[in-house]
Structure 1
Amino acid sequence: MKRVLKAFGQTLSQSILLVCTLAFIGLLSLAVVPSQAAYAGQDKTHAPQEATITEPATSFEDLNPQAGAYDEIVKTSQNPANVEKAYDESLKEYKGEHPQEGIVQKAEDLIEKVTGN
């Protein structure tokens, strides 16, 4: 009976210690979270730039050069032959910008030489 009571006492003391530790961590997190919001408005060096007023004669394409590229991509994607051609052109452009070949690229070139494709 003594062993049972001793084991029960240890289990009870460990559970009380665990509950106290969790309560302490919870109170600590409540104390830390509000203080972080105080730093939110202090750094004004990265403030967004104010909008500029443009001339009414300026077209949307001049302001957004990617708008025309989107229309071109949509037209290209409607014809499968154009898609492959555009892909090959894009691949050549990429290879021109990144001339360093990896082992995979060298293996692909060798396979193309052997198969004749």
Structure 2
Amino acid sequence: MKRVLKALGQTLSQSILLVCTLALIGLLGLGIVPSQAAYAGQDRSQAQPSAKITDPAESFEDLNPQAAYEDIVKTAQNPAKVEQVYDESLKEYKGEHPQEGIVQKAEELIEKVTGND
């Protein structure tokens, strides 16, 4: 019985010592890590170019939302025209974004193979 109690006490003291050691290591780790300042050591003479800010009022007047709405309504009433407008919009998008991904290349190859050019 004495051996069991002695072994139990020794195990308990070792586990407490282990927990205290781990807690001490954790606290020391928090104290060692320095806080990093943003842009520390950066040369301010090399400032990043700023984005161009446009006046929202000017761009809104150029849009003419009423005319755009009427165009959309007219297009939606004619199902044949919807596909044509979609194709035009797609061509315009591809013109603005010339990078082709693997999916677009695969679609083009499928269209060439099936003859749906």
Q: TM-score range by the shorter chain?
A: 0.3 to 0.5
TM-score normalised to structure 1 length: 0.46
TM-score normalised to structure 2 length: 0.46
